[in-house]
Amino acid sequence: MKVSEATEPIASLIAQATAVRERAHAPFSKFKVGAALETRDGRVYVGCNVENSSYGLSICAERVALFKAISEGEREFTRIAVIADTPAGSPVRPCGACRQVISDLMGSHGEVVMTNLHGDLETALVSELLPAPFDRSYL
Ligand code: THU
pTM attached to this predicted model: 0.97
Whether 51 is in the pocket of ligand 1, judged by its Cβ within 6 Å, is yes
Give the pairing of strands 44-48 and 33-39: antiparallel
Phi and psi torsions of 106, nearest 5°: -100, -25
Nearest CA to 90 among 117, 63, 111?
Answer: 117
Residue owning the nearest CA to atom 10 of ligand 1: 60
How far is Cα 88 from Cα 83, in angstroms, rounded to an integer? Answer: 12
Contact 42, 50 (CB under 8 A): no
Q: Which atom of ligand 1 is nearest to the CA of 33?
A: 3
Q: Which atom of ligand 1 is nearest to the CA of 48?
A: 3
Nearest CA to 14 among 97, 88, 119?
Answer: 119
CA 137 to ligand 1 centroid distance, Å: 29
Tens-binned pLDDT, residue by residue, of the chain (139 aa): 999 999 999 999 999 999 999 999 999 999 999 999 999 999 999 999 999 999 999 999 999 999 999 999 999 999 999 999 999 999 999 999 999 999 999 999 999 999 999 999 999 999 999 999 999 999 9
Among all residues, which ones are annotated catalytic? 62
